[in-house]
């Protein structure tokens, strides 16, 4: 008998889900979990109807509306008829095809990537897909989770499988002791910047190292969430005691004997000692300062204490041109101190940073004082009904309201501005979301990405601010 | 899906890096519930002025590129959001081939599923193609994996064998997978025995 080839965690999960492999390398992959929302599914359901197909395993699918939902005055319904139509279609389609739906007004509603883990629907070692690029979030649990398009959603509906091919592997190893007030978001932005916006294209990323091991599940979700911002097909973290403690007793997690069986399986979910990755990136967390983005790609970030970079010092023409265009869109000048950039809007929320720890971190900064008079609107959008209730039980809603923030209902909100929550043209937003793309938060809106604590600090002073000046160690 | 074999025509040189799918199709059009009609809004921020008029500077509005079936792009084209609406919009605009230094993985998959051929090439090869395409049409041949222009082969490209098979045959992937249903059923039976804990069931803790 030959010794089995050492494998990475990714390769183990992949192999465990291959139903059939074609000679050309494409594999038919079993999908354990399918999360759906209202935006990327209408055409997939329509495709099923036109072909007379059913959903093969509706019991493995969970639906929740999040992208279009209003974050206030829900009792008044939805103003935009197109948004209302998408929500209505999600309801009627789920009803027709036998899929469980968490209704917009249900207590557990929330952002799909917040409620999946919260419900224990997301589990280690599973394949999990969703028509949303931030599906990488669920990799924090050691699930192979990735975003898919609508044609692939239809394929999963009809067969509970995907035709796919293995990705290459990348290890991102994070060591060192992060300094005071350095959060998982800062670690994520540092990784995105180090690898570059497309640096992990074609790769599944596994995060390792003491910094990752010490992170809470919330922190790990923030890091895995941002995997797509440097091109990662998925992000993965090997499950450990932190993972199991989070999942135990979640509504949809295994119970009793099933929990014991699951634990026995999950404990083998780690990369073998001698397994090789195709690429390795090392990140020293002790060197990370609180980061903010200055451009229109998530890899364009700098320490808040630094200046807007000069595009002319960049090594190649394409990057110089990209940086010039970004500064033009952002209305910034090379050499301008980042802390002099004034802010109009503040958004605390999104599948990156809307969980309880994020809200606690922001509230800590706001306890000592309210927001600047400059700020036109500051909103907190909790990731789910459960997060919202927990925050209210801790009195965080009071802290936010007293400081001058609005306390909203859960949804994707100002991260992508599909509902009413938009940043007006030309205005500048301190945002805890994941993308600073042109027009992402509204046509002509200017986005600076940062951690929840840093967004709260920006709200306090009305400009980009080093949170360490407000909250002392 | 229409098979893709050969594509002949002009190429639009929109060679920026990191063109994200929000830029290809802004979020407001994700409210569409059909696949058709999105081409009018593709690259909206580039093609239209804030007033709504067509931008005279946009490459997409130049008469020589009207109906061009080929898009020349930069590095990491189609990064970001998974929205297949971006591929639908390009398809509706008449784009059959995108040539870039690299692609966002989800966009690449979406492109293939909509009969758009994604070709990844090194920057040097892209620049050569750009020079020729400035005055001559290109011929993309998927079977031979070649790009021809000005009576010479400008580049040969690699493509995943299964993607090539799907594009050449206009494969109905769901129909294909349904032919493997016995394998799927066997896997499911085995899975239920192997991982009984995997069946989702909701219970209050």
A114-126 pLDDT, tens per residue? 999 999 999 999 9
The reported pLDDT for the residue numbered B202 is 75
Q: Nearest chain A Cα to B36, which residue?
A: A43
Full-model pTM: 0.98
A323-349 pLDDT, tens per residue? 999 999 999 999 999 999 999 999 999
Closest CA to A53 of A162, A163, A160: A160
B56-112 pLDDT, tens per residue? 999 999 999 999 999 999 999 999 999 999 999 999 999 999 999 999 999 999 999
Taking an 8 Å cut-off on Cβ atoms, the answer to whether B22 and A251 are in contact is no
Ranges of CATH 3.30.499.10 domains, chain A = 9-165+240-263, 291-469
The reported pLDDT for the residue numbered A406 is 98
Taking an 8 Å cut-off on Cβ atoms, the answer to whether B16 and A321 are in contact is yes
Q: What is the mean pLDDT of chain A?
A: 97
Backbone angles phi, psi at B70, to 5 degrees: -120, 135
More confident site: A473 or B10: B10
Taking an 8 Å cut-off on Cβ atoms, the answer to whether A438 and B173 are in contact is no
Q: Nearest chain B Cα to A415, which residue?
A: B27
Residue B201 — pLDDT band, cuts 50, 70, 90?
confident
Backbone angles phi, psi at A323, to 5 degrees: -65, -40
Q: What is the mean pLDDT of chain B?
A: 96
Closest CA to A237 of A247, A249, A227: A227
Q: Which whole number is the average pLDDT over A89-99? A: 98
The reported pLDDT for the residue numbered B204 is 52
Taking an 8 Å cut-off on Cβ atoms, the answer to whether A319 and B30 are in contact is no
Taking an 8 Å cut-off on Cβ atoms, the answer to whether B184 and A418 are in contact is no
Pull the structure tokens for residue A13: 């999960």
Task: Output the furthest CA–CA distance in chain B (Å, rounded).
Answer: 71
Taking an 8 Å cut-off on Cβ atoms, the answer to whether B105 and A252 are in contact is no
Residues A352, A433 contacting (CB under 8 angstroms): yes
**Residue span of the structural domain in which B92 resides:** 6-195
Sign of CA dihedral A188, A316, A304, A449: negative
The reported pLDDT for the residue numbered A256 is 96
Q: Output the CA–CA distances (angstroms, integers) from residue B148 to B9, B14, B132, B136, in the order listed.
A: 11, 19, 10, 10
Given a cut of 90, whether residue B205 has pLDDT beyond it is: no
Q: Please report the residues numbered 58 through 97 in chain B whose beta carbons come closer than 8 angstroms to any beta carbon of chain A.
A: 74-76, 79-84, 87
B15-49 pLDDT, tens per residue? 999 999 999 999 999 999 999 999 999 999 999 99
Pull the structure tokens for residue B146: 């070649």
Given a cut of 50, whether residue A360 has pLDDT beyond it is: yes
Mutation target to probe the A interface, by most A beta carbons within 10 A, among B31, B46, B48, B77 is B31
Q: Which whole number is the average pLDDT over A428-455? A: 98
Taking an 8 Å cut-off on Cβ atoms, the answer to whether B104 and A40 are in contact is no
For the question of an ipTM over 0.90, the answer is: yes
Q: Which CATH number do you get for residue B182? A: 3.20.19.10
CA atoms within 13 A of residue A381's CA, in its CB half-sphere: 33
C-beta pairs of B121-128 under 8 Å, 24+ apart in sequence: B121/B155, B121/B157, B123/B75, B125/B154, B125/B155, B126/B15, B126/B72, B126/B99, B126/B100, B126/B101, B128/B154, B128/B155
Q: Which whole number is the average pLDDT over A78-92? A: 96
Pull the structure tokens for residue A376: 């036109």
The reported pLDDT for the residue numbered A472 is 83
Counts of helices then strands in chain A (DSSP H, E): 15, 19
Question: How much of chain A, in percent, has pLDDT values that exceed 90?
Answer: 97
Closest CA to A429 of A417, A416, A412, A441: A441
User: Among A46, A85, A297, whose Cβ lies nearest the Cβ of B18?
Assistant: A297
Domain A9-165+240-263 = CATH 3.30.499.10:
yes
Chain A CB contacts of B196 under 8 Å are: 258, 261
Q: Which whole number is the average pLDDT over B171-182? A: 96
Closest CA to B73 of B15, B132, B9, B124: B15
User: Residue B159, Cα to own-chain centre: how many angstroms?
Assistant: 13
Domain A291-469 = CATH 3.30.499.10:
yes
Given a cut of 60, whether residue B140 has pLDDT beyond it is: yes
Report if residue B138 sits inside a domain. yes
- Cα(A381)–Cα(A408) distance, rounded to whole angstroms? 5
Backbone angles phi, psi at B139, to 5 degrees: -120, 120
Pull the structure tokens for residue A131: 């028509």
Q: Nearest chain B Cα to A252, which residue?
A: B202
Mutation target to probe the A interface, by most A beta carbons within 10 A, among B73, B170, B197 is B197
Class of domain A168-239+271-287: alpha beta
Strand B138-141 relative to strand B117-120, pairing: unpaired
Taking an 8 Å cut-off on Cβ atoms, the answer to whether B22 and A154 are in contact is no
Report if residue B136 sits inside a domain. yes
Work out how many domains chain B is built from and give that number: 1
Q: Please report the residues numbered 117 through 156 in chain B whose beta carbons come closer than 8 angstroms to any beta carbon of chain A.
A: none
Chain B CB contacts of A62 under 8 Å are: 200
Determine if residue A190 is left, alpha or beta; phi over 0 gives left, psi from -120 to 50 gives alpha, anything else beta.
alpha
The reported pLDDT for the residue numbered A473 is 65
Mutation target to probe the A interface, by most A beta carbons within 10 A, among B27, B48, B123, B172 is B27
- Cα(A343)–Cα(A446) distance, rounded to whole angstroms? 10
Pull the structure tokens for residue A180: 């005071």
B201/A contact by beta carbon, under 8 A: yes
Sign of CA dihedral A330, A336, A337, A341: negative
Q: Which whole number is the average pLDDT over A404-417? A: 98
Distance (Å) from the C-alpha of residue A180 to the closest C-alpha of chain B?
Answer: 31
Residue B120 — pLDDT band, cuts 50, 70, 90?
very high
Q: Please report the residues numbered 164 through 193 in chain B whose beta carbons come closer than 8 angstroms to any beta carbon of chain A.
A: 165, 173-174, 176-178, 180-181, 183-184, 187-188, 191
Chain B CB contacts of A151 under 8 Å are: 84, 110, 113-114, 173
Chain B CB contacts of A262 under 8 Å are: 195, 197-198
Report if residue B1 sits inside a domain. no
Distance (Å) from the C-alpha of residue B203 to the closest C-alpha of chain A?
Answer: 5
Chain A CB contacts of B103 under 8 Å are: 201
Taking an 8 Å cut-off on Cβ atoms, the answer to whether A439 and B178 are in contact is no
Which helix (H) or strand (E) segment holds residue A118: the answer is: helix A112-118
Taking an 8 Å cut-off on Cβ atoms, the answer to whether B31 and A321 are in contact is no
Chain B CB contacts of A149 under 8 Å are: 82-84, 87, 106, 109-110, 113
Chain A CB contacts of B28 under 8 Å are: 417-418
Pull the structure tokens for residue B185: 């059923």
Reported residue count of chain A is 473
Which helix (H) or strand (E) segment holds residue A12: the answer is: helix A9-17
Question: How much of chain A, in percent, has pLDDT values that exceed 70?
Answer: 99
């Amino acid at each position: 008998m030959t010794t089995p080839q050492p494998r990475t965690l990714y390769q183990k999960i992949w192999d465990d889900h291959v139903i059939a492999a074609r000679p050309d390398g494409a594999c038919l992959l079993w999908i354990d979990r399918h999360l759906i929302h209202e935006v990327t599914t209408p055409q997939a359901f329509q495709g099923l109807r036109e072909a007379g197909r059913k959903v093969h395993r509706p019991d493995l699918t969970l639906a929740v509306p999040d992208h279009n939902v209003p974050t206030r005055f829900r009792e008044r319904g939805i103003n935009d008829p197109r948004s209302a139509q998408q929500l209505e279609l999600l309801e009627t389609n789920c009803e027709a095809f036998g899929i469980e739906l968490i209704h917009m007004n249900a207590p557990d509603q929330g952002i799909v990537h917040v409620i999946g883990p919260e419900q224990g629907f997301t589990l280690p070692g599973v394949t999990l897909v969703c028509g949303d690029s931030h599906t990488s979030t669920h990799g924090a649990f050691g699930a192979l989770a990735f975003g898919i398009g609508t044609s692939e959603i239809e394929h999963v509906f009809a067969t509970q499988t995907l035709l796919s091919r293995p990705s290459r592997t990348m290890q991102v190893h994070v060591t060192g002791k992060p300094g005071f007030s350095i959060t998982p978001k800062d670690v994520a932005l540092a990784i995105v910047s180090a690898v570059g916006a497309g640096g992990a294209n074609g790769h599944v990323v596994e995060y390792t190292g003491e910094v990752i091991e010490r992170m809470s599940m919330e922190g790990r979700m923030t890091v895995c969430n941002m995997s797509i911002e440097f091109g990662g097909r998925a992000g993965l973290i090997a499950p450990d005691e932190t993972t199991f403690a989070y999942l135990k007793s979640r509504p949809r997690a295994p119970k009793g004997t099933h929990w014991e069986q699951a634990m026995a399986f999950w404990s083998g979910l780690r990369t073998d000692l001698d397994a090789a990755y195709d690429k390795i990136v090392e990140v020293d967390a002790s060197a990370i300062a609180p980061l903010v983005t200055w451009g229109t790609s998530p890899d364009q970030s700098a320490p808040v204490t630094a200046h807007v970079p000069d595009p002319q010092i960049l090594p190649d023409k394409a990057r110089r041109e990209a940086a010039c265009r970004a500064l033009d869109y952002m209305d910034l000048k090379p050499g301008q101190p980042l802390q002099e950039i004034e802010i109009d809007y503040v958004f605390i929320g999104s599948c990156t940073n809307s969980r309880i720890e994020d809200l606690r971190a922001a509230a800590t900064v706001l306890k000592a004082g309210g927001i600047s008079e400059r700020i036109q609107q500051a909103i907190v959008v909790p990731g789910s009904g459960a997060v919202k209730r927990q925050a209210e039980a801790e009195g965080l809603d009071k802290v936010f309201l007293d400081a001058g923030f609005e306390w909203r209902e859960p949804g994707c909100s100002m991260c992508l501005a599909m509902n009413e929550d938009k940043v007006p043209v030309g205005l500048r937003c301190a945002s805890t979301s994941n993308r600073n793309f042109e027009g992402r938060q509204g046509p002509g809106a200017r986005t600076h990405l940062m951690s929840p604590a840093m967004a709260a600090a920006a709200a306090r002073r009305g400009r980009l601010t080093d949170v360490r000046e407000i909250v002392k160690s | 899906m229409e098979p893709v074999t050969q594509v002949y025509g002009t190429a639009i040189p929109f060679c920026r890096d990191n063109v994200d799918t929000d830029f290809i199709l802004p979020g407001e059009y994700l409210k569409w519930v059909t696949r058709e009609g999105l081409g009018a809004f593709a690259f909206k921020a580039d093609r239209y002025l804030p007033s709504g008029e067509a931008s005279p500077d946009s490459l997409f509005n130049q008469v020589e590129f009207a109906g061009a079936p080929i898009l020349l792009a930069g590095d990491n084209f189609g990064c970001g959001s998974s929205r297949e609406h971006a591929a639908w919009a390009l398809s509706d605009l008449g784009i059959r081939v995108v040539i870039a230094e690299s692609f966002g993985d989800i966009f690449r998959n979406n492109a293939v599923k909509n009969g758009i051929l994604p070709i990844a090439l090194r920057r040097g090869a892209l620049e050569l193609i750009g020079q020729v395409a400035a005055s001559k049409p290109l011929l993309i041949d998927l079977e031979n994996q070649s790009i021809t222009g000005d009576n010479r082969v400008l580049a040969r490209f690699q493509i995943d064998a299964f993607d090539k098979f799907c594009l050449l045959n206009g494969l109905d992937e769901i129909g294909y997978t349904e032919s493997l249903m016995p394998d799927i059923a066997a896997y499911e039976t085995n899975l239920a025995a192997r991982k009984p804990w995997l069946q989702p069931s909701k219970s209050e803790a």
